Structure 1
Amino acid sequence: MSQPILLIIGAGPNIGASVARSFASKGYRIALASRKTPSYEIKDSLHITVDLANPSQVPSVFDTVKQKWGASPSVVVYNAAVFFPDQGEDVLSQFDFKKFETSNAINTTSVISALQQSVAGFKTLPASASKTFIFTGNMLNSTPAPGFLLFGAGKATTAYFIRHLVQQKSYQGDGIKFYYTDQRQSNGAPMGTGVEGDAAGVEYLKLAERPDQGPWDYTFVKGEGYKDFSSAN
Structure 2
Amino acid sequence: MTTPVLLVLGAGPKIGLSVGQAFAAKGYKVAEFRRRHRPGWVLALEDQPCKHRSSGDPESIYQVLMASDGVALDPEDPLSSVSISETTRIFATNTISPLIAAQEAVKGFKQLPTSASRTFIATGNLLNTAARPPVLTFGMSKSALAHLIWGSSIAYEKRGFKFYYADERQEDGGATIPVSGPAAGRAYTELAEKEGQGKWLWTFVDGKGYVES
In the superposition, the TM-score normalised over structure 2's length comes to: 0.91
Contact conserved, 2:24 with 2:50, CA < 8 A, in 1? no
Contact conserved, 2:17 with 2:42, CA < 8 A, in 1? yes
Counterpart amino acid of residue 199 in structure 2:
P
Q: Which position in structure 2 is the counterpart of 1:16?
A: 16
How much identity, in percent, do the aligned residues show?
Answer: 40
How far apart in 2 are the matches of 1:206 and 1:51? 32
Q: Which runs of 5+ in 2 are unaligned?
A: none
Task: Report the Cα offset of residue 36 of structure 1.
Answer: 1.3
How far apart in 2 are the matches of 1:176 and 1:9? 18
Contact conserved, 2:74 with 2:133, CA < 8 A, in 1? no
Q: Which position in structure 2 is the counterpart of 1:59?
A: 62
Counterpart amino acid of residue 186 in structure 1:
E
Q: Which position in structure 2 is the counterpart of 1:226?
A: 210
Out of 141, 144, 153, the residue aligned to residue 131 of structure 2 is 144
Count of aligned pairs: 208
Counterpart amino acid of residue 33 in structure 1:
F
Out of 8, 31, 48, the residue aligned to residue 53 of structure 2 is 48
Contact conserved, 2:36 with 2:56, CA < 8 A, in 1? no
RMSD (Å), alpha carbons:
1.8
How far apart in 2 are the matches of 1:88 and 1:184? 23
Task: Report the Cα offset of residue 48 of structure 1.
Answer: 1.9
Contact conserved, 1:50 with 1:58, CA < 8 A, in 2? no
Counterpart amino acid of residue 58 in structure 1:
I
Q: Which position in structure 2 is the counterpart of 1:198?
A: 182
In the superposition, the TM-score normalised over structure 1's length comes to: 0.84
Deviation per CA, 1:85-131: give whole Å up to 9, x if none: 11453222222111111101001000100000011011111111100
Contact conserved, 1:8 with 1:20, CA < 8 A, in 2? yes
Q: How does 1:1-233 map to 2 (within 5 A)?
A: 1-38=1-38, 39-41=41-43, 42=45, 43-50=48-55, 53-54=58-59, 57-60=60-63, 81-87=68-74, 89-166=76-153, 169-191=154-176, 193-229=177-213
How far apart in 2 are the matches of 1:156 and 1:163? 10
Q: Structure 1 residues 155, 176: closer, same or farther in 2, change over 3 A?
A: same
